Structure 1
């Protein structure tokens, strides 16, 4: 393992997700290194920038930032250069390119993207819907959903549903359990909105054992038994074959990667 340590700052006048994701993507290419990412969100004054630069000096940090106001970008750039700190301005070039093509100047308003609008309320509605119909085999949720996920327990149905709802899709998820009949509307799939999820059985076994440990139960429970898992897979495979839905293997995939694959069936 490398002995060098690095601290990266993700700074933003809004949530900071863009700068943080950039740093995480870069840091991910150095899995054996000791790198810490510190986030500074809703930075909206020159005084706050001054404070962050002082901290960055002490940490000898690198800085990735997103500011929509030119004054704030220039201020951070000036201070970073004055203190020999490496930085990347993630907004300057995109803003200039868009402004150049459109022939208008940016509004430079904080978090303009996140102001309350129709898309915002659509996401909230989708998230509320998804939480209401999480892990249910119920007709109303299936009928009203944009996407219906099916699969055995611990195939990431719930976190994937929540992520899809954040993107604005009402998502229901239905557990496939041998002892429970699947609702007929899922089997019919007349709107072609059902997507099946599967996973490597060995990995599922490990996941379920860890789940049992967190619940304070022994790892010999039927829930994690390989015979039970094989039985569930046989049942789930037969149901998904009957539905004729696309099936996504979530093994070693992030929630974001799986979501992209799910949406590829709906956005063609």
Structure 2
């Protein structure tokens, strides 16, 4: 059995730290046997706040990732880490430098949390409101107001994928395919949104459903997890996707982010036509 290596990772941000967290989530799984010990410091905008961060870094040496716009605070953080022999990486610097060179202008020091209430912000709020109201087959008659509609059997990640897309400003509805339940004509006649079928392998779906039933202390021998019934359910779904000529994404080994990225690519291709 391999012993885990622990690594202190200090995430220092003058905003909400979402960028730092996303990078940590992407990088950490690539190092087998390494367990990151996350130390997060958000909304760091004063020297007093930074001093507390520096004391913590000194107490728990490791690596430092930071997104701080104010040059005076950045300099203090970098100098302190250099004296301690601790690597400190300004996560956005290379991106900012590339933009500055290309645009021939300097980046400002506005922090990420000072988000303008612009059109994109209201678009995301609208998309989230729409998506929550049209989850799990609710109000199918309004699906033509969506940009994307996801269709699939139970436990194919329709809801979390819909919410992820909504956070990107995409109005998303989703519809569950239930064995022997009629499919609304309104769904079959959609012509405005991109309708995407979500497909999954029978073995994977059975495993997911069994875990779900176990978590609910429910009967794990029902048709919901019967192998023949599940295979028939998936076959019927695939036939529907083919009849309707809907694009299909196999979510068997895809994360929510990967599925959403594939959908966004389909949407971009469709809008470009």
TM-score scaled by length of structure 1: 0.93
Deviates more, 1:15-24 or 1:146-155: 15-24
Asked if structure 2 preserves the Cα contact closer than 8 Å seen for 1:12 and 1:42, the reply is: yes
Asked if structure 2 preserves the Cα contact closer than 8 Å seen for 1:150 and 1:157, the reply is: yes
SS at the partner of 2:137?
A: coil
SS at the partner of 1:34?
A: strand
Q: Distance in 2 between matches of 1:8 and 1:158?
A: 32
Structure 1 unaligned residues grouped into runs of 5+: none
Asked if structure 2 preserves the Cα contact closer than 8 Å seen for 1:2 and 1:34, the reply is: no
Asked if structure 2 preserves the Cα contact closer than 8 Å seen for 1:137 and 1:175, the reply is: no
Asked if structure 2 preserves the Cα contact closer than 8 Å seen for 1:186 and 1:243, the reply is: no
Q: Which residue of 2 aligns with 1:162?
A: 163
Asked if structure 2 preserves the Cα contact closer than 8 Å seen for 1:192 and 1:245, the reply is: no
Q: Distance in 1 between matches of 2:106 and 2:135?
A: 44
Q: Distance in 1 between matches of 2:4 and 2:210?
A: 35
Query: Cα deviations across residues 218-253 of structure 1 (Å, max 9, x unaligned)?
Result: 322332222321221122112111111111000111
- 1:44 has 2:59 as partner: no
Q: Distance in 2 between matches of 1:3 and 1:245?
A: 46
Asked if structure 2 preserves the Cα contact closer than 8 Å seen for 1:196 and 1:245, the reply is: yes
Aligned length: 268
SS at the partner of 2:38?
A: strand
Q: Distance in 2 between matches of 1:22 and 1:7?
A: 15
Q: CA 1:3–1:199 in structure 2 vs 1: closer, same or farther (change >3 Å)?
A: closer
Q: Distance in 2 between matches of 1:3 and 1:127?
A: 40
Asked if structure 1 preserves the Cα contact closer than 8 Å seen for 2:197 and 2:241, the reply is: yes
SS at the partner of 2:174?
A: strand
User: What's the RMSD between the two structures over aligned residues?
Assistant: 1.8
**What is the CA distance between 1:192 and its match in structure 2?**
5.7
Q: Which residue of 2 aligns with 1:219?
A: 220
Q: Distance in 2 between matches of 1:59 and 1:174?
A: 49
Q: Which residue of 2 aligns with 1:17?
A: 18
- 1:130 has 2:131 as partner: yes
Deviates more, 1:27-36 or 1:66-75: 27-36
Q: Which residue of 2 aligns with 1:239?
A: 240
Q: Distance in 1 between matches of 2:207 and 2:226?
A: 10
Q: Which residue of 1 aligns with 2:183?
A: 182
TM-score scaled by length of structure 2: 0.92
**What is the CA distance between 1:3 and its match in structure 2?**
4.6
Query: Cα deviations across residues 58-106 of structure 1 (Å, max 9, x unaligned)?
Result: 2212111111221221121011112221110113332233233323332
**What is the CA distance between 1:174 and its match in structure 2?**
0.5
Q: Distance in 1 between matches of 2:116 and 2:162?
A: 24
The equivalences for 1:55-204 within 5 A come to 55-111=56-112, 114-136=115-137, 138-191=139-192, 193-204=194-205
SS at the partner of 1:245?
A: coil
Q: Which residue of 1 aligns with 2:54?
A: 53
Structure 2 unaligned residues grouped into runs of 5+: none
